[in-house]
């Protein structure tokens, strides 16, 4: 990575460690994680912070707890390794295992309880990590497939605010979807 031509402000200390640049991410509960800059840049949000030159000491992430942050970092590391060293990976999650070699790993990664899964969605959204957002949203969508509306309500604890008549009307309007 060229040191002189970039417009990013880099400190002298960082110039010495060009190849293994690290950044520190701080979770909402005060824990710090040191990661390779290239891994952190899987997150577009962090990437913009670094490029804007605001990443002097630590990058605070007030919306992400340490538990979730450690998982997110695990995800980014794994995907960065798989994509190669050159640029941030642009592989988005696909269920097609021939194009995505990490399908199995991804499937295991999302085998977590609902709360954690939802926190991962929020973190992926906040940190703007496309692959993780794809993966987690697809997982939730898969949980809905094949279920009746009542089963969906039960799975996700959603209150039914329809009266029986209203529900019957809606069902009649969309009868084809139930067949």
Partner 1 sequence: MALESSTEVSLVPRRKIRKRRKMRKENPEEDPIQSPCRKRRRKHPDEPEPEPSYEFLNKIPVAILFEILYRLPSRTAHLCKSVSKRWYSLISNPSFARGFIHHRRRHSDSEPFNLLLRYTIRYYMGPPKDKIQVLPFNSSETCSDGKYGNNILNFLPCFKRGRLYKNDFGVASFNDLLLVHNRVTSARKKVGFCEYYICNPYTKQWFKLPRCSSHTLRTDKVGFICEAYENAHYRYKVVLIHSPNEPNATQLHMEVFSSEIGKWCKSVVSSPRGLNPFKRKFECAGVVVACNGMLHWVDTEVNGMIKGFVVFDPFNDAERCNYIDLPVNFSPQVEFGFGVPDNFSFGVFRGRLRILHNPRAGFNHTFSFYVWELEDYNNAGTWCMKHEVCYENMVFEHDLSRYVGLARNFRYSMVEFLAFHPDNGEIVFFKFRNYQVMCTVNMRTRESKMAGKLNCSQWGSLSSAFLLPQPLWPTPVPPLPLQFECSNNC
Query: Site residues (CB under 8 A) for partner 1?
Result: 114-115, 118, 121-122, 125, 133, 137-138, 140-141, 144-146, 148-149, 152-153, 156-167, 169-178
Tokens read off for 170: 């809606």
* Min dist. Cβ of residue 115 to partner 1 (A): 5
Residue 15 DSSP code: H
Closest by CA to 132, choosing from 113, 109, 114, is 109
Q: Which is nearer to partner 1, 38 or 139 (CB)?
A: 139
Task: Compute the least distance from the CB of residue 129 to partner 1, in Å.
Answer: 13
38-77 burial, b for 16+ CB within 10 Å, e for fewer? bbbbbbebbbebbeeeebeeebebeebebebbebbbebbb
Q: How far is the CB of 22 from partner 1 (least distance, A)?
A: 30
Q: Which is nearer to partner 1, 2 or 90 (CB)?
A: 90
């Amino acid at each position: 990575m060229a040191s002189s031509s970039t417009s990013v402000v880099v400190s002298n200390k960082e110039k010495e460690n060009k190849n293994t640049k690290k950044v520190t991410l701080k979770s909402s509960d005060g824990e710090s994680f040191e990661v390779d800059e290239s891994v952190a840049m899987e997150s577009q949000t962090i990437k913009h912070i670094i490029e804007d030159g605001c990443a002097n000491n630590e990058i605070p992430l007030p919306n992400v707890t340490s538990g979730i942050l450690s998982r997110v970092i695990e995800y980014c590391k794994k995907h960065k390794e798989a994509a190669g060293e050159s640029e941030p990976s642009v592989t988005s999650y696909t269920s097609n295992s021939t194009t995505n070699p990490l399908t199995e790993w991804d499937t295991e990664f999302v085998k977590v309880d609902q709360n954690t899964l939802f926190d991962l969605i929020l973190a992926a959204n906040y940190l703007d990590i496309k692959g993780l957002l794809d993966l987690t949203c697809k997982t939730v969508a898969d949980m809905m497939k094949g279920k009746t509306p009542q089963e969906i309500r039960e799975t996700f604890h959603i209150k039914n605010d329809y009266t029986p008549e209203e529900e019957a009307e809606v069902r009649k309007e969309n009868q084809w979807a139930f067949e």
